Amino acid sequence: MTEYDVAVIGSGPGGYVAAIRCAQLGMKTAIIEKYSTLGGTCLNVGCIPSKALLDSSHHYEDAVKHFEEHGIEIPGEIKVNLGKMIARKQGVVDMTTKGIQFLMDKNKIDVYEGVGSFKDATHLDIAKTDGSTETIKAKNTIIATGSKPSSLPFITLDKERVITSTEALKLNEIPKHMIVIGGGVIGLELGQVYKRLGAEVSVVEYMDRIIPTMDAGLSKELMKSMKKQKVKFYLSHKVKSVQRKGDEVIVKADDKKGDEVTFTGDYCLVSVGRRPYTDGLKADAAGVKLDDRGRVIVNDHLQTNIPNIYAIGDVVRGAMLAHKAEEEGTMVAELIAGQKPHIDYNLIPGVVYTWPEVAAVGKTEEELKEAGISYKVGQFPMRALGRSRASMDVDGFVKILADTATDEVLGVHMIGARCADLISEAVTAMEFRASAEDIARMSHAHPTYSEAVKEAALAATADRALHI
């Protein structure tokens, strides 16, 4: 029986990063993945394919709607070849997942294909696709089994027309009318993809705003911008049934007043969140405890109730984000190696890759109010930037929240072109506990979208914005 210092179950961004870091630190490492490709949800059916389709559909929308304004004329009709678009996306996925295989080989990590389960706290069974089972011994195990799309109890996901994000990434046709249940990140990103390609898109959301966990200002601005793109929103609507009739999907919901509203479409994307995934893991065989929501219970060191078993990523508490999983992967590897790493969860940024992009780090206004912290606001609109006017991406703003007494930056919330990349400046500043004035006094290249960060910081510093 092969013995390892560390065995990692699951090869998503949490698992594969943990494995690389363990190997870097000199530990004999194995990774177990039930699918034939590595990379987990993120690389196969999450972050990467969704961004590939967002990019392709963005190009198409630009060509149809904006090229003419730029003085670019294309003779003849501009058409979408959905098959080719989906194939390109798959090409990006294949290249990326092969890259993980390369990294495993480079770091001399043993890769096992099969379902990993606990035999006991130090032995793992790997059930392979050929029906055989191999058992390995591991001093330490890291559970990184991720998550799966969740649904509502009364919905039957037929995966043809009543679908999750996984199917939405490989449709054979452009929907005529896609009903999106859930106005969170995944629903909005994929809704925008199909809206750009020509579908009618209706977003039905239970809460009174979209992206409800983000700062309310961002929800409002994103909805305004997506409404201009003709996405329809139905807020405070409680979906109560989803029925398939031939090629039609009928969704019934109660509105705020309790009146029934019926939506008829040809596809319904159910994007109501994700659930932690531990099916087949036999966590109980090792004595590992789960909470009432099915998450593996961990302490501040991401250690389960069994000291040599750790858990990271979507399968534990906290934001379900690839970069959060990666940080936890690194942290656990370093803890096992005897180091003292730390993660500041307040500084894990959240991003929505719609256009305009939405990004945030730190506290929202709502959270600061609730905590009774006195703060000041500096906000700067994207439309006041030369760079935004040059590219005609004028929607959005950057908002900086700083402590009234100390000027320390407590939260940064932004919406606009390239905000997914811009947010890193805010994360860096907050990691070093910068004041708004610190950011305001730094030179930002002109013309760039990043000038909005400087201007918002100036606005937060005694209302000193220069270009508004």
> Rule CB under 6 A: which residues touch ligand FAD?
9-15, 32-35, 40-42, 46-47, 50, 115-117, 144-147, 165, 186, 277, 280-281, 313-315, 320-323, 325, 353
Catalytic residue, chosen from 66, 70, 301, 446, is 446
The smaller minimum CB distance to ligand FAD, of residues 27 and 281, is found at 281
Please measure the distance between the N-terminal and C-terminal CA atoms of the chain and give it in whole angstroms.
Answer: 69
Is there a catalytic annotation at residue 446? yes
| Contact present, 349 and 182 (Cβ < 8 Å) | no
The smaller minimum CB distance to ligand FAD, of residues 193 and 226, is found at 193
**Residue 120, H or E segment:** strand 115-120
- Integer Cα distance of 29 and 138 in angstroms: 9
- Integer Cα distance of 325 and 276 in angstroms: 13
Instruction: Quote the DSSP letter at residue 68.
Output: G
Q: What is the DSSP string of 206-269?
A: SSSSSSTTS-HHHHHHHHHHHHHTT-EEE-S-EEEEEEEETTEEEEEEE-TTS-EEEEEESEEE
Q: Least distance in Å: CB of 186 to ligand FAD? A: 5
| Contact present, 224 and 252 (Cβ < 8 Å) | no
The smaller minimum CB distance to ligand FAD, of residues 50 and 56, is found at 50
Instruction: Give exposure, 10-19, as e/b (b: 16+ Cβ within 10 Å).
Output: bbbbbbbbbb
The smaller minimum CB distance to ligand FAD, of residues 33 and 407, is found at 33
The smaller minimum CB distance to ligand FAD, of residues 42 and 457, is found at 42
CA distances from 264 to 198, 237, 251, 253, 451 (A): 17, 15, 6, 12, 44
Q: Least distance in Å: CB of 281 to ligand FAD? A: 5
The smaller minimum CB distance to ligand FAD, of residues 32 and 402, is found at 32
The smaller minimum CB distance to ligand FAD, of residues 19 and 336, is found at 19
**Judging by DSSP bridges, how do beta strands 177-181 and 200-204 pair with one another?**
parallel
| Number of other CB atoms surrounding residue 209 within 10 Å | 17
The smaller minimum CB distance to ligand FAD, of residues 324 and 413, is found at 324
Q: Which residue has the tokens 């990043």?
A: 450
Q: Least distance in Å: CB of 428 to ligand FAD? A: 18
- Integer Cα distance of 311 and 72 in angstroms: 52
Q: Least distance in Å: CB of 30 to ligand FAD? A: 11
**Centroid of chain to Cα 256:** 29
Q: Least distance in Å: CB of 418 to ligand FAD? A: 15
- Integer Cα distance of 364 and 356 in angstroms: 19
CA distances from 218 to 136, 284, 399 (A): 49, 42, 9
The smaller minimum CB distance to ligand FAD, of residues 117 and 140, is found at 117
Q: Least distance in Å: CB of 109 to ligand FAD? A: 14
- Integer Cα distance of 463 and 388 in angstroms: 22
Residue 311's Cβ-count burial label (10 Å; 0-12, 13-18, 19+) is buried
The pair of three-digit structure tokens given for residue 169, joined into one six-digit string? 């990434």
| Number of other CB atoms surrounding residue 50 within 10 Å | 21
Q: Least distance in Å: CB of 152 to ligand FAD? A: 17
Side chain identity at residue 159, one-letter code? K
Q: Least distance in Å: CB of 394 to ligand FAD? A: 24
Q: Least distance in Å: CB of 114 to ligand FAD? A: 7
Active site residues: 446
